[in-house]
Amino acid sequence: MIPFNAFSLPLHIPTYEKPGAALRTGGLVQLATFVLIAALLIGCSAAAATSAMTVATPAQPPAEPTPELRVEPDHGPLQTVTLIGRNFPAHAALRVRMGVPNTGLNDADLAWMSVDGDGAFIVNAPLPTVWPGTNAAVVEDQLVLAVIDPVRNQTLATVTYHLPAAMITPTPDLLAGCDASILAVTEPVAIVTAAASDILVDADAGATRVTRVDRCQPMSVSGRDAGGVWVKVALPGGYSGWAASADLRFNVAVNVLPVVK
């Protein structure tokens, strides 16, 4: 520590001062010098404390990245497309649904997928010409594809698929006259839309027929073959076998059914 005496200034006392005046004057100067040094030290300490507090303030966490979704191809006739996503919640189980602008999304899932640890996914999704709850599949020149979080019932991202003008035609209601309420259940089910459909013992057009069902017949669905051409079904009354997927209307996309034998 530097003694305050070290900051004392030499004094020149006039000859007309009374005895002892120099001592009193020097003391006042020393006191003033000490007060000045103390003020400077206090100011430095306060500045240092302020600086320390500023450094110690934690930084704000970065904002969550916005999910990004794109579709390939993004135009053309109805077909199976590839959806590519980034910045989604890691390890989330999500679904893909379809709709038309200013109308909303349909309840049927086109595809299911699990996001990886980096928040990314790639999934194929078919674009059906007809889906449950709608008489005409496509009456607009574009479709909306959405990635849904089914747990929070939240749309995380959407992308638009454009259709050529030649594809903008109404689709006839294949369920006219049928009780379509069965399609509102959660487990996979289907209704026969063909005039009649054969239920076979195997996923092969040449397999033995188990029974034949008429149009509007409901059935439960437990799986599909690798190509999705045939589906494994069970009928009321105990019959089961394989039916051609082209003869049926489903409440889920065929490609999300498990592959069974």
Q: What is the pTM of this model?
A: 0.44
Which of 167, 188, 203 is the C-terminal boundary of a domain?
167
More confident residue, 222 or 131: 222
Question: Both 195 and 121 in a single domain?
Answer: no
User: What domain count does the chain have?
Assistant: 3
Question: Both 25 and 76 in a single domain?
Answer: no
Strands laid side by side in the 230-234 sheet? 209-214, 196-200, 240-244, 230-234, 218-224, 189-192, 248-250
pLDDT score, position 41:
55
Query: What's the CA angle centered on 78, arms 68 and 134, to 5 degrees?
Result: 95
Flag whether 154 is in a domain. yes
How far from the centroid of its chain's Cα atoms is residue 108's Cα? 18
User: Which domain does 25 fall in, by range?
Assistant: 4-56
pLDDT, mean of residues 92-96: 93
Which of 146, 167, 188 is the C-terminal boundary of a domain?
167
Query: Residue 136 in contact with residue 163, Cβ under 8 Å?
Result: no
Question: Both 97 and 147 in a single domain?
Answer: yes
pLDDT score, position 176:
84
**DSSP label at residue 75:** B
Q: Which of 121, 105, 102 is nearest to 113 (CA)?
A: 121
Name, of 7-21, 139-153, 208-222, the range with top average pLDDT. Answer: 208-222
Least confident of 54-68, 81-95, 165-179: 165-179
- Terminal Cα-to-Cα distance of the chain (whole angstroms): 91
Question: Both 72 and 151 in a single domain?
Answer: yes
Query: What's the CA angle centered on 192, arms 191 and 198, to 5 degrees?
Result: 135
Task: Compute the distance between CA of residue 190 and CA of residue 248 in angstroms, rounded to an integer.
Answer: 6
With bands split at pLDDT 50, 70 and 90, how would you rate the model's confidence at 165? low
Flag whether 18 is in a domain. yes
Flag whether 173 is in a domain. no
More confident residue, 159 or 51: 159
Tokens of 95: 């679904």
The pLDDT tens digits of the residues spanning 179-197 come to 988 888 888 999 999 999 9
SS3 labels along 37-60: HHHHHHHHHHHHHHHHHHHHCCCC
Flag whether 261 is in a domain. no
Flag whether 246 is in a domain. yes
Flag whether 175 is in a domain. no
pLDDT score, position 137:
45
Question: Both 188 and 153 in a single domain?
Answer: no
Task: Compute the distance between CA of residue 81 and CA of residue 73 in angstroms, rounded to an integer.
Answer: 6
Q: Is the pLDDT of residue 103 over 50?
A: yes
Flag whether 214 is in a domain. yes
pLDDT score, position 171:
47
